[in-house]
Amino acid sequence: MRCGGPVGCRRGRSNQGFATVPALVLLAILATLAGVTAAYVSSSATSVRFDNDRVRSRLLILAGVELAAYDLLSSAKGERAPRNSISFRLDNASVTVTSAAEATRVDLNFAPPVVFANLFQELGSSSEDATAYADRLVGWRSALKEQARDREMAVYRDAGLSYGPKGSSFSSEDELWSIPGLPAALVEKALQFVTVYSGRRQVDVFGAAPEVIAALPGVEPVQTAAFVARRESLPHTPSAVINLLGSAGGMISIYSDDNVRLNCQVVLDNGWRTSAEIVIQLEDGDEPYRVLSWREIEPNAAPAETR
């Protein structure tokens, strides 16, 4: 779908239907929003002369977040696609924003050890190593009894570390780097599938990556493959999922809530590229969303010419 006005908006393919408001009304509202965003960027450009590509990129990322939040809020919570994308042109730049519900990831603070062991195996670890890594992860987040804590502390001492397990909830996915024994390559892979912003034990299987579905208790590879192949056409009912995946230890969810991860990619016409990963919480109050996490990635291409 292409939208008129100063912003061209193309929706990516999603796993569910989208846009419950009439199409013409949605187009008009999007065009209005795009106009307001363009005016804001234009006004900012005048005030700072906009000689800095980094500043331009940050404002374009903000415009992408605003438009993605509106895009999500234009559908009722139960009707939102767990994954979606939009793209548009603005101020001599191309912006693409992909969104994925946090409930499609494994929550580091709520998932049971078996899920982490299964996930680590899916990512290439042996069964024995995966179980040990899962134990370390749970030991990091748990307030352990004295004997168990002494065992965990010994692991940290043996690794030459001056600290021990945190003993409380993960506040960031990056804390995985602090757990002894986890290979760097495994952490890099795991960060694509875990979160601290879901806030629940269950996983939305309609938007989850195959690796996450395969990590659920009791789910066999053939079940994962069959479900992934058919999920776009399945009704969003518990029975439809259970028929293919089983009960999965009670970890199956068929909907996502209000926490969403956005990946914003900005490419200026002069060749400058940058991106950001932002987690937002959609809200019903005066503010449409709240930022939970904002991480900008350093540009991976310099401008074509120095200004």
End-to-end CA gap in the chain? 36
184 domain residue, yes or no: yes
Same domain assignment for residues 29 and 85: yes
Q: Is residue 139 part of a domain?
A: yes
- Phi and psi for 195 in degrees, rounded to 5? -155, 165
Residues 81 and 141 occupy one common structural domain: no
Name which residue leads in pLDDT, 96 or 22: 96
Name the β-bridge partners of 265.
96, 275
262, 279 Cβ separation under 8 angstroms: yes
Task: Judge if 132 and 169 occupy the same domain.
Answer: yes
Structurally, the chain folds into a number of domains equal to 2
Domain that holds residue 75: 23-98+258-301
Residue 60 near residue 95 (C-beta atoms within 8 A): yes
Q: Is residue 207 part of a domain?
A: no
Beta strand pairing call for 194-195 and 203-204 = unpaired
Question: How is residue 82 written in tokens?
Answer: 């767990």
Is 91 within a domain?
yes
Q: pTM value?
A: 0.79
Would residue 140 count as lying in a domain?
yes
Give the tens place of pLDDT for each residue, 285-303: 788 999 999 998 877 544 4
CA separation, residue 148 to residues 69, 112, 133, 137 (Å): 44, 17, 16, 14
Q: Is residue 179 part of a domain?
A: yes
Decide which of 175, 191, 207 is a domain's last residue: 191
Whether 35 and 83 map to the same domain: the answer is yes
> For residue 257, what pLDDT is reported?
85
200, two tokens = 């629940």
Residue ending a domain, among 143, 167, 191, is 191
**With b meaning 16 or more CB within 10 Å and e meaning fewer, what string describes 42-66?**
eeeeeeeebeebeebbbbbbbbbbb
Domain of 30, CATH number, reads 3.30.1300
Residue 16 lies in a domain: no
Q: Which residues contact 211 (CB under 8 A, 6 or more apart)?
A: 119, 122, 123, 193
Q: How far is CA 27 from CA 16, 44, 122, 139, 289, in A?
A: 20, 26, 42, 51, 21
Q: Does 60 reside within a domain?
A: yes
Do 136 and 94 have their domain in common?
no
Average pLDDT score over residue span 111-123: 97
User: E-strand spans in 92-173?
Assistant: 93-101, 106-107
Which of 43-47, 58-62, 64-68, 239-243 comes out lowest in average pLDDT?
43-47
| Stretch 223-252: mean pLDDT | 94
Domain boundary among 191, 214, 231: 191
Question: How confident is the model at residue 26, as a pLDDT?
Answer: 58
Q: What is the mean pLDDT of residues 216-236?
A: 95
